[in-house]
Every structure is written in structure tokens, then in C-alpha cells.
Structure 1
Amino acid sequence: MRIPKKTALILGLVVLLAAAAIWTLTRPSQAKPTASASVPVKVVSVIQQDVPRYVSGIGSVLSLHSVVIRPQIDGILTRLLVKEGQLVKEGDLLATLDDRSIQASLAQAKAQLAQSQAQLQVAEVDLKRYKLLTVDNGISKQTYDQQQALVNQLKATAQGNQAAINAAQVQLSYTQIHSPVSGRVGIRAVDEGNFLRMSDAQGLFSVTQIDPIAVEFSLPQQMLPTLQGLLATTPPAPVSAFLGDDGHSGLLLGEGHLTLIDNQVAAGTGTIKAKAEFSNKTQKLWPGQLVNIKIQTALERDALVVPPSVVQRGLDNYFVYRVKGSGVEVVAVQMAYQDSDLNIITGVQAGDVLVSDGQSRLKPGSRIEVLGETKVADRQSAMESKP
């Protein structure tokens, strides 16, 4: 059956109207505009506490006494009485040299002294006799004077013999090498049986004092007044030595005190050298070792303390984001002191809540959502435990 054109057009129009109605009823509704989303941040509270101030530098560990053991006479090394790395005390016998020739020279000098003393004894007896004979002119005055001169000559000879004995005894003492300091024996350079000479620059080995020990370091010349004040305190200012970073990640090697400031500033570098002395019973500090040193220069009382991540740097000053209701406000602050663990600031009050993370998305008046707040007690405990 054939449908007329007019009827077909009417049916098509009806279909289009129905489809439009269905689409209008079923199309997704547009989302209504919402208020600006809150910025997620982390916050901390401003803490008021006493904070020590420190200055840091790089130093080199030095022994207070280090001696290269060398012979004082030529001779054969007969015995080594210490081992490499052994700890010795001042006066300990370290080595001996062949002393036979010196012993013979000493015995010869003693024999010559005995001979001179015997001759002197006879000459003094004759002098007494001649003196009695001169009373009644039994002998001439010339004979008496000659005997007196002989006695004087023999006395001088005996004194020369005694000096030879003393010299031989000194030479004999050089055949026994004693430690001039207390310390640790280094690597041995020669073995027993070698012929040693006084001109040998190498020596037998070295003895280096390990405890106590010193650290020499340099600081900018601007620190000179501070160092002078620290040296004048009683007791002197404490100094800590670290291997690696001087913070929590560094290994504390020892704690000592400031002992010396150099007598001049290095003109080329604009620095001043200083020295600190350390007790080193555990031998963690070793001569020649490079260490980081930290000196407490002052104690800031009732300081306002925040973590370094809180303070932001503007074009002209420092600022922080302070929580105000459900939003934040910008507060200009002054940086009184800073290090890797904390900043001391002014311009806020103790207990103020400041943004510590998420500042990049903030602006004055921004709404915030606090994700987590650092526990004040935990952070304060961590700061107090900092060396």
C-alpha cells in the first residue's frame, strides 16, 4: 500500500518532534558553579624557648705532640721493643743500639781517671813534705813551686778524665732509645740489624700523642671579637667535632673546648685560625682527619622558633602565612637567626598557627584545609635533643 506524500511528511515531522522532546527530557543537567575549593596545607604552632646559637667550620685534627724517633749516634739496631700501633708512655724503652765500643771507651776513661788520681795522690804527699822542708831551707823555693805546679797539672788531668767518663756515659745513654712523649707508635721504617746514622731523615718510626688531641680550624675574621669573648669565659666555650654534617646526620666524634686564637689574620683569605683541645679516650679523632666543628656562641632566651619551611622569602622581606579562621593572612617577619633545623623570627606571637607546607597555592584570604598539625611537644623535644 502506497502512503501519500503529505501523510509521510506529517509522520516524519511527528518523529522529529518526539526525538527532540526525548532529548530535552534526558540530557544531562549542567553542574552549578561552586565556591572556590579549599587549599590543603599543613600547619605548626610558634614555640617560645631558649635556643643556643652556633657557628660552624671545617677543621683538621692535629696531635699535640708528634716525634720522629731518630738515633743520636751511629750504630747497629740490636733490638726493637715495641710493635707498630702500640701505645707507649713517656720514658718507655723503645729500642737499643750496639753499645760495645762505647762501653770500652767508658772503661778506658775510668782507668785513666784512676791513674791520674793515683799520681795526684803521690804528688800531694810530696808537696806536703816539700812545704815542711822549705821552713829550714831544706829545699829550694823553686823545687817547691815546681811540685805545686805538678799537683795542679794532675788535678786538671783528673778533671779531664772525669769529663771523658761523663761524655762516654752520655754516648752510652744514646744506645737506649726512650719515648719522649706518651702516644701511639707509627709504622716502622727499619728492622733490627740495620746500621743507623744520625743523618738518616727517615728515622725508626714516629710516636704521636692521641689523647688529648687538638683540632685547628678557620673562621671569618668577623668572628674574632666573638672568639676572644668565648676564650675569656670560664670554662672556655665548648666545641663539638663531627664527621660529616654537623646536624643529626653527622657522627659526633668528640667534645672539647676552645684553647687558642692565632696571633694574626690570614690576609689572603680574611680568616682567623683557632684551636680546640679534645679528650680522645675513644680515639675517634685521628691526626690529619678533616672534621666539621661547631661552637656555641650565644644563647637566645625566649626566642620565637619555627621550622625553616614556614618562612617565605619575598621581594623585599620575609613573610609567613598565619591561619585566621578558615583562611590565611600574610604577616611580615624578621629573621633573627637560622640554621638547617630552625629559624628564630620576630613579628608573630607564641602560639600563632602558621602554614608549614602548601604555601605555593596560597594568597591573602585563601580558604585552607588543614591536613595535619605537627605536635608541638614532639617538635620541641626534637629541638631540645639537638646537640
Structure 2
Amino acid sequence: MTYIWYSQKNDVAKKTVGQKEIQIVSAIVKKYDVPIKLTANGTVISKQTVEVRPQISAIVKTVHIKEGQFVHKGDKLFTLDARTESANLNKAEAQLARSNADFANALRNLKRQKKLFEQKFISQAALDTAQKDFDSLKGKLEFDKAFVQENHVAHGFTTITAPISGRTGSIPVHPGSLVQPNIAIPGSVTQPRSAVLVSITQINPINIKFTLPEHKLLIIQNKLTQGDIVVNAKLDVPGVPLIKGKLIFIDNAVDTKSGSILLKAEFPNQDKKLWPGMFVTVMLTPEIYIDALTVPVQAIQTGPENKFLYVIGENNKAEPKIITVRLVQDGVAIVEGISEGTKVVVEGGQNLKPGSTIIDTQSPKYKDKSTNNAINSYTDTHTSNWLLG
């Protein structure tokens, strides 16, 4: 029993001495090219939205699309009853044919009158009358040509096609509905006097708008002089990869209330992952720090006046080193005032003071020692329990 008590006393004494050495986790100051990431919350917006409206008063004959359907530019959307427009067009063409005949007759009569006048068979007044009739019928002919063209245009309004490619919205009309320009359609959710048959929203490509602080504007402008700025969009959906686009717009003024600048980026959207109105996270890297000195952000210590790092020197002594922090992102700090390859304290710095002796828990020697201590502790505990039993 005396030997066991003496051995336990020696262990306690060793632990008391060992408490002067503070356990820490260290890291090496490394040099990298670090891209500076700017992150913002963005809203997905369509590149353009077109409201399709009727240009004439008519009955809807056929609706060729469904709500929420994807259409291409030129696809047929609606066919209106064209009987009135067809009759007006036929009437205008008949009037044009009559005017053509009258004009041809007036031209022949004018030529005859000119020959008779040259032979002194008619007076100047008779020639003037023939010229007047010719000029009048020529003007009427031009008017009838324009009238026919006008009716062609009106007849064309009876077939409504898609002006852009995109996705259709709600359709408030059906076959048999009467539509009129500038008169609200019953059941339409749009504003009064809109007469919107359907709206088409362009989905691919699609835009995202976001804002950045005004002090980032100069960095972005400098990057644009070198080429396109890549913008990545992140959806709030696990497993969805980043969507790559490019910056296309910088607003012409800074918002004086928020001190921010509006920007827009364009993204390909063939798989339709982006939808108007969605909220996404936008990331861009307009600048790169070349040969930046980096340390884990946990290594940064804050003093009364400066930020500093605990540097591990000779004999495992920790000494503070004042540094300047240029940037913190993704758990890494870019610092100045220290050399590459310097060993610094990452964890355990709160327990240190200048000149403290440390034990680096990441060193192989310490790991072996810790393992042996754990085994000895386990053995001593079970031996004591056996003796007490």
C-alpha cells in the first residue's frame, strides 16, 4: 500500500509541473492568391415581359395556347372572328379596282386631249379639264391603295402571334368572348382598361438584380475594363450546383438612402431552375489579392489598440506580433505585418500571455505522449478500483 500511495503522489506532482505549459493548436502563415468574394441577396427578374392586347373589336374564335405554356416567337396565340375584316378588305379591293379603271380611262382621255390641242381642235380650257380629272383620279387611286393596305393590317390583327419566346400567364378569355381595345376584360386580374389577353414572360435567358455597397463600385468598374465579370447564383436548395452568369448592368446612380448601387446579371436558364420572383444568393469575384498572407481567422487576437497574433518562437515560447487585417472571408484572414512560414497559435490563445510556454497538440511527439498518458490513466484508475474493491 505504501508503494501505491507514493506512486500516486509522484503523478500529482508531475501534473502540477505540467500545468505551466499551455496546450494550443498551431498553424503556419501561408501565401496564396485569394479571390475576393462579394456576396449579396438577389431577386430573379424576367428579361422582358410582354402584354398581348387586341387591336380590333372582335369575337375570340380560337385560343391556341394554354395557361403556363412555353411558346416561341411567332407561334399562334389567338384567332379572332375575321368576317367583318374580310368583308371590309374585299370592299376596299373592289374600290381600288374601280379607281384603277377610272384612272386608266382618265389617262387615255388626257393623251387624246393633248393631241387635239396640238392640232388646234380644242381649247386650253378643255385640256385643263382633262388634266384636272386625271390628277383627281390619280389621288383617289393612291387613297384607295392606302385604304386596302389599312384593311390588310386590320385583317392581320385577327390572328395574334407571340411577339417573344417565353411562358404564358393566365388567359382571361375563351372562344366566344368579345374583346375590344382599351376596355377591361371581365375576370381579368390586370388593371382596368388593360384588355390584356395574355402576358408572356421571357424565361431564358433570365436576369437577377442585386445591390452592392457604393464603395465596391470602383472595384467592379476596374474589373469590367478587363472583360466580363462572372457572377454565380446559389439557390436555397441542397445539392443544386452554382449557376454561372455574367454582369450586364450597373445603374447610373447610387441610391442615396441606402448607399448602394443596383446591378443586374444575366444567366442561361435552359433547365428553368431560376424563376421570376425567386430569392437567391449572388456571388462575384471582381478582385484577387496576389500573394496574400493568410491565417485561420481564429488565430486573430484583439488587444486594446491593435490586432495581433501569438507567434511561436524558440523554446516553444509564445510572443505577440501586431498585424493588420485586410480581409476576412470563408474562415481565412488576410494579414500584413508577418512573414510567410511563421508558426502562430490558432486555438488556446485566450490562455496565453507574452512569454508563455506552449505545447502544440498537433505535433507528433505530443500526440504519442497524450496517448501514453491516456493509457496510463486508464491503467491507474482500474488498478485503484481493483485495490479499493
TM-score, normalised to structure 2, is: 0.80
Report the equivalent of 1:295: 284
1:185 counterpart residue number:
168
Show structure 2 runs of 5+ residues with no match: 185-193, 365-389
Q: String of CA shifts for 1:67-119, please: whole Å, max 9, x gaps.
A: 11111222222222223333322222222211110010000000111111112
Match of 1:222 among 211, 215, 218: 215
- 1:237 partnered with 2:226: no
Shift of residue 176 of structure 1? 1.3
Candidates 263, 267, 270, aligned match of 1:278: 267
**Relative to total residues, which structure has the larger helix share, 1 or 2?**
2
Change (3 A) 1:354 1:191: farther
- SS of the equivalent of 2:134 reads helix
- What is the percentage of aligned positions where both structures have the same residue? 34
Deviates more, 1:83-92 or 1:94-103: 83-92
Contact kept? 1:253, 1:285, Cα under 8 Å = no
Q: Deviations over 1:115-172 (max 9, x none)?
A: 1111222222222222222233333332222122112222222211111110001111
Q: Which residue of 1 aligns with 2:124?
A: 141
Any idea what SS the aligned residue of 1:272 has?
A: strand
- Find the partner of 1:308 among 297, 301, 307: 297
1:319 maps to which of 308, 330, 339: 308
2:62 — aligned with what?
79
1:1-387 equivalent positions in 2, closer than 5 A: 34-37=16-19, 38-199=21-182, 200=184, 201=194, 203-233=196-226, 235-244=227-236, 252-324=241-313, 325-372=315-362
Shift of 1:252: 4.8
| SS, match of residue 334 in structure 2 | strand
Partner amino acid for 1:35?
V
CA distance in 2, matches of 1:137, 1:97: 61
Whether contact under 8 Å (2:244, 2:267) holds in the other structure is: yes
SS at match of 1:264: coil
Aligned length: 345
Gap change, CA 1:88 and 1:75, over 3 Å in 2: same
Q: Say if 1:113 and 1:162, in contact at 8 Å, map to a contact too.
A: yes
Between the aligned partners of 1:172 and 1:202, the Cα distance in structure 2 is: 19
Gaps of 5+ in 1: 1-25, 375-387
Shift of 1:338: 1.0
TM-superposed CA distance for 1:373, in Å, is 7.0
Structure 1 residue aligned with 2:187: none
> Helix, strand or coil: the match of 2:252?
strand
- C-alpha displacement at 1:346, in angstroms? 2.1
Give yes or no for contact 2:181–2:195 (8 Å, CA) kept in 1: no
CA distance in 1, matches of 2:287, 2:244: 17
CA distance in 1, matches of 2:173, 2:199: 12
CA 1:75–1:361 in 2, change beyond 3 Å: closer, same or farther?
Answer: same
Give the alignment's Cα RMSD to 1 decimal: 2.7
CA distance in 2, matches of 1:163, 1:327: 98
Match of residue 20 from structure 1: none
CA distance in 1 between counterparts of 2:157 and 2:274 reads: 33
* TM-score after normalising by structure 1: 0.81
Q: Distance in 1 between matches of 2:173 and 2:93?
A: 35
Contact 1:43 1:373 (8 Å CA) reproduced: no
